Each structure stands twice: as structure tokens, then as C-alpha cells.
Amino acid sequence: MSEQPRTKTVKEQLADIPGTYPFTQERCRLGYHLNMFFTTLLKEENRREFLADESKYLTKFNLNDEQRRTILERDWAGMLKVGANIYHMSKLGGTDRKTFQYLAGQMAGMSEQDYRNMMLRGGRPLEGNRSKSETSDPS
């Protein structure tokens, strides 16, 4: 009698999608201070202070070095990896006067226009974007 393969959990399934960083409990805890920073950018006076001296403003928050780097370098996908919530992160995009399409394009490794065109054509192709663990079509 052969053993049935173990079914992946939803968390494992999501983590297996290329370019996907699920906002899990662990990421939520990791990104707490990062997301609190983003939230401060709702107020105009905080945006002005941040833009005047970004490094100095970030000292107000208990960020780790990698979180600080992703902000200063505007590494949008990196921010997700280190605990950013996309909705909070968009406050930084707004502070930089960037559209959500721009952010999505950057996270997908393409320009805003290329991202827009891809979405108008129906989105990312499924081929090569379904699973990190599958090397070929199982059918």
C-alpha cells in the first residue's frame, strides 16, 4: 500500500507562488514597526519631516537594518519580504507621488507602463508563475 502525498497547507501553497510573500502572523509581527512607520505618513507634517531627512526620521522606529534599507532604497518587493503590509506600504508610495500601478510594476520587476499593459492583456501568464516547486507541467 503506497502512502498518499501530504497535502500542502494554504500557507505552503501561497508561499509556493513565485513573487508572493503572504502576510502571515510571522510577517505581521516582523513588520509591526515598519507598518507603524508607514502609517505615520498619513499626516502631511510627517511626510514633510520624512522627506526632509529620511534616515533621521526612521530613527524614531524600531526597524531592523534590512527594513531601513528597503525603505531608503525603495525596494518595494523587499519591503513585503520584511513584513510590510501592502496597504500600509502604499502610504510611502503616495508620499513619493507614485501610483499603485507603479508600485505593482516595481514589485513585478517591470515598468509601470509594462505592468499596466500586462494587466490590460489579462494579467500575468500562468506559465512559469504557478509554482516554485514544480519544474514542469504535471499533466
pLDDT tens, residue by residue, 1-53 = 567 777 777 666 666 665 666 667 787 788 999 999 999 999 999 999 999 99
135 pLDDT more than 60 = no
Its pTM stands at: 0.76
Query: Domain map of the chain by residue range?
Result: 22-98
Q: What span, in angstroms and rounded, lies between the C-alpha atoms of 135 and 132?
A: 8
**What homologous superfamily is domain 22-98 in, according to CATH?**
Dioxygenase LigAB, LigA subunit (1.10.700.10)
Per-residue pLDDT, averaged over 126-137, amounts to 60
Per-residue pLDDT tens digits for 70-111: 999 999 999 998 999 989 999 999 999 999 899 989 988 889
| 77 vs 64: CA distance, rounded Å | 16
What pLDDT is recorded for position 18?
A: 59
Q: Between residues 112 and 42, which one has the greater pLDDT?
A: 42
